């Protein structure tokens, strides 16, 4: 399930205004760090559409063992 979720997560990313948004999975964890290339200054991230059991802490998406099963559309926004 977690592999399917991460694949869907990557497919939902759109790039605008010269910013390149990236995801990096921390080894051994169900945690994905957000990164942004092309930003001018500090970057603030916003994530909408997370299912139950998935959280966002301001820079990382965390998938817990209680994550809801299914297909979800996430909206990730990076503002510099």
pLDDT one digit per residue (tens) for the chain, 80 residues: 444 444 445 444 444 556 777 888 887 778 999 988 888 888 899 999 999 999 999 999 999 989 999 999 989 888 88
**Domain region containing 15:** 2-79
What is the reported pLDDT for 13? 46
Give the pLDDT of residue 53.
95
Q: What per-residue confidence (pLDDT) applies to 45?
A: 92
What backbone phi and psi angles, to 5 degrees, belong to 7? -65, -45
Residue 28 CA neighbour count, 13 Å, CB half? 0
* pLDDT recorded at residue 77: 87
- Pair of tokens at residue 62: 């965390």
**pTM value > 0.85:** no
């Amino acid at each position: 399930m977690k592999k399917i979720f991460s694949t869907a997560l990557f497919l939902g990313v759109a790039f605008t205004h010269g910013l390149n948004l990236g995801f990096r999975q921390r080894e051994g964890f169900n945690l994905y760090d957000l990164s942004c290339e092309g930003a001018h200054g500090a970057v603030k991230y916003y994530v909408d559409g997370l299912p139950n059991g998935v959280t966002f802490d301001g820079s990382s998406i965390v998938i817990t063992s209680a994550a809801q099963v299914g297909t979800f559309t996430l909206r990730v926004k990076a503002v510099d």
